[in-house]
Structure 1
């Protein structure tokens, strides 16, 4: 899922190998569980898939296997939160958002309870499980809820840093990560602050704002265009809500054109969030890389990303179009 080196005059992001973001979640949950006795884990019969086995084994009295009953899991998490616990309630993204939307809306957001909804296996890269499991609307569902925070890390290391940040956050939060092994390239010095994006590559001609697996692909595109003399600013927008308005406005002002990239529907996801900021502050040409009002299908992850136009080449195509529109 991408080449292994990004080399620029300002910084060098090098893949340390491929790791899954779900692995980062499982390891981080164990670490923060050791540090904070208020942290509890809940899972809807997918403990192995979400790498929660180590937490379960280390803290059997703080882990709750709810079975295939996601609505009950969210309601249990809400109850635990009222006692001062910090619940991490985890399942596949399609179940953690779509199946339990009513419980999240009423029990978590309306009541403003401190529950972390942790969702793995999101997007097309779930692969062979097909359209019924490849949710591409979850960011939109969650960002539309009052009081909900939405976090989408881009690699294994950032997932671990994000987990440490969200345990300190008070309030309902949606934490989205994935199944496949992808390049692990971010650095500890990048840090992680909810609501504050990270500029990974400088540029003054156009900006690519990406989240999740598309961040690495945006860096690949920036490297290619750097050889052509085109400066591409790359922003890792790991928090979709609250979105980093200041970074978006600054990028629009400095570069005059923006491309967004996400493994999600272009409607009501990162692209719409960025477009909304620009419409209210500084209108500029915006192009979006994402799934365009379609369901997924069964297939190998890389084949699906190519079919649905979520590749480095597709980001390049949108960059050229945005530049022509300036």
Structure 2
């Protein structure tokens, strides 16, 4: 059982890189504990900024430091970062094209028992609609580390959403990562996973189902694909951690070799991964698309897994949806 949450994976990378890169700065809104960034603050106090509960100031200050040549990583709960500081994200970060990485921690329904005020089921839609803003939802700690390394190499704005709790490892020690390219996992067999740029679609053959998932829903999607394979139903999973820019090339390839496309996300049914996938498939390769997401209503309160189970956002629910719609 993995005990390292994705937020900790980000901290580990920044801790290592900050030893030789003094331009890396971390900013928090009274959230260094929740962000797993306390070790960074302790080790690099001159590269750390605590602004308190002031999310708007947090984002504007991050943008200002980026304009001075710093590589700003800005941490705050996703529910607040994507709402309270939305104007600052739009203007100070994206419109001004500053090197700020907005890290929405405890995303989705991580704060399950605290209810809708602390849920972030709208952040993909909100951030994706901002020009110049990239949106990433890494699936496990290995992919999160790869993504963080990649984002340290560019100077463009990005929003990264991670959950609060540890998630099961998907890729183990090998993660087929290339920036802005989905990972392709045939029949739930992670050992055969490749980045979409290296996928041999002819060799992968025809599939009954293409499952497109992001963030913490990727694990259940992979398990669902394995369940389908056991029933003689071939499928392919696209780990679409890069929601924006969407890996359209891989998506169209997967849809073109499948009878049915299913999207799975920890988000509202509006404006998220499902909407982006449906739009791309409809225009490029018309196929039936089923969107699995949180309902358009305040979700029930409870621990994340209990909520996912209630709404069928688990391996059994995904597999069942596939079989019912083939």
TM over 0.5: yes
**Contact 1:124/1:305 (<8 A) preserved:** no
Among 31, 34, 37, the residue aligned to 2:19: 34
Runs (5+) with no aligned partner, structure 1:
1-15
Shift of 1:297: 3.9
**Contact 2:181/2:247 (<8 A) preserved:** yes
Among 313, 317, 321, the residue aligned to 1:314: 317
Shift of 1:289: 1.1
Give the match for residue 227 of structure 1: 230
**Contact 2:208/2:259 (<8 A) preserved:** yes
Aligned length: 308
Among 101, 109, 122, the residue aligned to 1:137: 122
Give the match for residue 271 of structure 1: 274
Alignment of 1:163-182 (within 5 A): 163-182=148-167
In the alignment, structure 1 residue 79 sits paired with structure 2 residue 64: yes
Moved over 3 A (4+): none
3-state DSSP of counterpart to 1:257: strand
Among 57, 82, 89, the residue aligned to 2:42: 57
**Contact 2:142/2:175 (<8 A) preserved:** no
Shift of 1:188: 4.6
CA RMSD after TM alignment: 1.4
3-state DSSP of counterpart to 1:205: strand
Among 207, 211, 221, the residue aligned to 2:214: 211
Give the match for residue 9 of structure 1: none
3-state DSSP of counterpart to 2:60: helix
In the alignment, structure 1 residue 250 sits paired with structure 2 residue 253: yes
3-state DSSP of counterpart to 1:199: strand
Bigger mean CA offset, 21-30 vs 67-76: 21-30
Shift of 1:321: 3.4
Shift of 1:187: 4.1
Shift of 1:190: 2.5
Among 112, 117, 129, the residue aligned to 1:127: 112
Shift of 1:18: 4.2
Distance in 1, matches of 2:254 and 2:3, equals 30
**Contact 1:125/1:302 (<8 A) preserved:** no
TM-score normalised to structure 1 length: 0.91
Shift of 1:194: 2.4
Distance in 2, matches of 1:209 and 1:142, equals 20
Runs (5+) with no aligned partner, structure 2:
188-203
Give the match for residue 299 of structure 1: 302
TM-score normalised to structure 2 length: 0.91
Distance in 1, matches of 2:100 and 2:287, equals 37
Bigger mean CA offset, 271-280 vs 302-311: 302-311
3-state DSSP of counterpart to 2:83: helix
3-state DSSP of counterpart to 1:190: coil
**Contact 1:265/1:291 (<8 A) preserved:** yes
Distance in 1, matches of 2:286 and 2:84, equals 37
Q: Which has the higher contact order (CA 8 A, sep 6+)?
A: 1
Distance in 1, matches of 2:324 and 2:123, equals 28
**Contact 1:42/1:66 (<8 A) preserved:** yes
**Contact 1:125/1:305 (<8 A) preserved:** no
Among 280, 285, 305, the residue aligned to 1:282: 285
Shift of 1:47: 0.4
Give the match for residue 102 of structure 2: 117
**Contact 2:134/2:158 (<8 A) preserved:** yes
